[in-house]
Amino acid sequence: MNEAGFVIPDDHPSLPGHFPGQPVVPGVVILDHVFGLLGGGVQVTGIRQVKFLRPLLPGQHCRVSFESADGETRRFTCRVEDEVIAQGSLRIAGGAER
């Protein structure tokens, strides 16, 4: 299992409107960062499952851990501190085993 992280800054262009006065990082932005952290020439060809369990706020450090389920599936878990905020599995193609 490998782990990487990211932080969405307060001035990210997706935040206005999500939600005024109390910004929350949209799920699509979280997924975009998860996809980018796969690395190694891995291409996401589908989303098998994803659950957003808690909001991610701007400025919070999100840790993403990956685990291979099989040659075509990569599971991920996103955490803020020790709390799971999102998890799912992706269908992938290419790249080295991670």
Active site residues: 18
What's phi and psi for 33, nearest 5 deg?
-70, -40
Q: Are 74 and 68 spatial neighbours (Cβ–Cβ below 8 Å)?
A: yes
The DSSP output letter for 98 is -
| Rounded (5°) CA angle 36-13-87 | 40
